[in-house]
Amino acid sequence: MTIESGLSPWLARTQPNPQASLRLFCFPYAGGGATIYHSWPASLPPSVEVCGIQLPGRGSRLKEKPYTRASPLIESLAVEMAPYLDRPFAFFGHSLGAMISFELAHRLRGERGLEPAHLFVSGRRAPQLPKPDRDIYQLPEPEFIEQLRRLNGTPREVLEHPELMGVMIPSLRADFEMSETYVYSARPPLRCPITALGGLEDEEVTRPDLEAWRAQTSGPFSLRLLPGDHFFLHSSKSVILQLISRGLDEAVRAPDHR
């Protein structure tokens, strides 16, 4: 995936669409980059422009220091994304990305009076729930890698390649630290629709964990469980894109989508 000339390094677009009526900002899971979403534009309506979020410490920004706390990251994102909020927008985030997109939605509401037309949260327990009583990011490297293997989000050939893991581990540890040190702050619920997605075989995030997202919006809420483990994002991609397409079509047609 290439970054367009003049585009913020935080954003990546494989198919720029100046005529789009809505932008979909997609936030990656721990250790992931904007390339996760590079194929999505082909399966979404032509009225939607997909913008993958490229965080420091990976991809084209590999040499930059990754964030380890949510608040400064959200602050930076709010500034960097400001020029691209000139039309209706929606957020999709998987796992860590769901937390980032949720916090950014609240930040934009507080600072600019803007909310996403739709918030899609995937593979993440609702933020108000107690966090699991463990910190993966502090584990010694062999145990840390074993946890990555268990989660099934890193290809086996990468896990077994010491040089590649040496490059990836700093951003992975930083992302896990950000996720595991995140502290939820209670605020009035968002007004935008929230769709929560989960994997039927995901042992990390259960149906009740996802159902609890209902409390985070005063608008419509929906929950879908799809085939796959914590990374059903890949195995059920086609169904996810169908759900997003329907949700965004409704958002664009809604009279108060701004």
Catalytic residue among 5, 39, 76, 95: 95
Judge whether 236 counts as a catalytic residue.
no
DSSP letter for each residue of the chain: --PPTTS-TTEE-SS--TT-SEEEEEE--TT--GGGGTTGGGGS-TTEEEEEE--TTSGGGTTSPPP-SHHHHHHHHHHHHGGG-SS-EEEEEETHHHHHHHHHHHHHHHHHS---S-EEEES---TTSPPPS--GGGS-HHHHHHHHHHHT-S-HHHHT-HHHHHHHHHHHHHHHHHHHT------PPBSS-EEEEEETT-SSS-HHHHHGGGGGBSS-EEEEEESSSTTHHHHTHHHHHHHHHHHHHHHHHSTT--
Residues annotated as catalytic (active site), given as ranges: 95
